[in-house]
Chains A and B, each alone.
Chain A
Amino acid sequence: DQQVKQNSPSLSVQEGRISILNCDYTNSMFDYFLWYKKYPAEGPTFLISISSIKDKNEDGRFTVFLNKSAKHLSLHIVPSQPGDSAVYFCAARAFYSGGGADGLTFGKGTHLIIQP
Chain B
Amino acid sequence: ETGVTQTPRHLVMGMTNKKSLKCEQHLGHNAMYWYKQSAKKPLELMFVYNFKEQTENNSVPSRFSPECPNSSHLFLHLHTLQPEDSALYLCASSQDPGTSGGGSYNEQFFGPGTRLTVL
Chain A interface (Cβ < 8 Å from any Cβ of B): 2, 4, 32, 34, 36, 41-46, 49, 51, 89, 91, 93, 99-109
CB of A101 within 8 A of CB of B55, answer: yes
CB of A43 within 8 A of CB of B48, answer: no
CB distance from B114 to the nearest CB of A (A): 10
CB of B42 within 8 A of CB of A45, answer: no
CB of B106 within 8 A of CB of A102, answer: yes
A91–B2 CA distance with the chains assembled, in angstroms? 18
Q: Which residues of A contact B31 (CB under 8 A)?
A: 100-101
CB of B107 within 8 A of CB of A34, answer: yes
A108–B113 CA distance with the chains assembled, in angstroms? 17
When C-beta atoms are compared, the residue in chain A nearest to B41 turns out to be: A108
A16–B21 CA distance with the chains assembled, in angstroms? 41
When C-beta atoms are compared, the residue in chain A nearest to B99 turns out to be: A99
Q: Which residues of A contact B43 (CB under 8 A)?
A: 44, 89, 91, 104, 106
CB of B98 within 8 A of CB of A103, answer: no
